[in-house]
Structure 1
Amino acid sequence: MSATCPQCEASDRSVPVSLALADTTEPLEEPVRALLAPPPEPKPARELSGGAIALSALAAIFAVVGILSLVRDREDLSGYDAAYRAGYLAGPFILPLILLAAAAIVELVARSRRRPGSGSPEEAAHRQPHARVWQAGWLCRRCRVAFFPEASIRPGFPASPAIPLEQFPHWVMTAAERAFGAQARPVAG
């Protein structure tokens, strides 16, 4: 299939954006590749697991209690050896450190069980329209412009004018919202 460039009205140098990026015989320069790159995958949410939150909260509570006990206690430790004094001062913080270590382990286990790239169904529904629009994009190698042929995004969707490459990422997002409505809008998080 070939598409006619809206600027030069020729189809001999027009290729789908995805093929232009994969082409090794006539590779694109790096700045152009960056502009034509597919929409990025959203980064997974950096939420802590419930167990890690509970253990961290307990550690904070015990740390505060330890600090308060050291501040209120004015016991004279001069008659004791250095090891006892160190234990007396560090003792209130051993349990909070153990709890924080347990929270870190619980979080590592929880993250290892999550599938990479997994997200909520809402996130997946948000990504799909942008990817579909990006797949419909074409590049005219002669004019160095991008465009969307008529009905390439969805049936009845009009053809785009010639799009400067700097505006291509914005056009992908805008066209996805126009073509697919609320399905392409960002998910509130």
Structure 2
Amino acid sequence: MRAALAPPPEPQPGPVRLHNVSIALFAVAGFFLMTGILAQLKSGDQDGSSSAYQAGAWVGVFLLPGLLAGVGLIVHSTTRERRTGTSVADIARRGMWQRHLQTWQAGWLCRSCWTAFFPAGTFHPDSPATPAIPLAHFPHWVMTGTAPAPGRTEA
């Protein structure tokens, strides 16, 4: 019963792919990380060098790749925020959802016979009342746009 009376679900924005700049930054960071680790492993124990020097060498291996990965994450998150919900398809889905929601809100429920209907004058001043719609068919009826959008006049 509750599902039959629920409004149309709000559309979710489409997927956002990784930005090319963030892909390049992640790739360069991975390359520097792998070459740095391999260089440290090949050099082995550096005789005569202090432990501070050895620790600095290992920190250096992770510093540049970490910075590049951080910048890549920042680029990805800022471009994702700008692009989420702004594509033509997302805007069209949102407009269609708003039309379905207006149609759903214009409907009335008859609790005694468990049907829905649209009263006279709902869609335009001269529109007649719709026949009773069984609740099981009401969500499909609203989502297929069988009725004109509220506030819209038919020719």
**TM-score normalised according to structure 2 size:** 0.63
Match of 2:52 in 1: 83
The match for 2:133 is 161
Q: Which runs of 5+ in 1 are unaligned?
A: 1-30, 180-189
State which of 53, 62, 72 in structure 1 corresponds to 2:23.
Answer: 53
C-alpha contact 1:36 1:168 (8 A) present in aligned 2: no
Residue in structure 1 matched with residue 63 of structure 2 by the alignment: 94
> 1:140 deviation in Å?
1.0
Aligned residue among 109, 118, 128 for 2:95: 128
Please give the per-residue CA displacement for 1:21-53, whole angstroms capped at 9, x wherever unaligned.
xxxxxxxxxx94995234213135343322222
CA RMSD of aligned residues (A): 3.8
Residues 127 and 106 (structure 1), Cα distance of their counterparts in 2 relative to 1, 3 Å cut: closer
Identity of aligned residues (%): 32
One-letter identity of the residue aligned with 1:129: M
Paired with 2:40 and 2:132, the residues of 1 have a C-alpha distance of: 71
**1:147 corresponds to:** 116
* Structure 1 equivalent of residue 86 of structure 2: 119
Q: Deviations over 1:29-86 (max 9, x none)?
A: xx94995234213135343322222211111111122232234x14223532221111
What is the letter of the counterpart of residue 163 of structure 1? L
| Higher RCO (CA < 8 A, seq sep 6+) | 1
In the alignment of these two chains, the number of paired residues is 138
TM-score by length of 1: 0.54
Query: What is the match of residue 151 of structure 2?
Result: none
Shift in Å, 1:170: 5.5
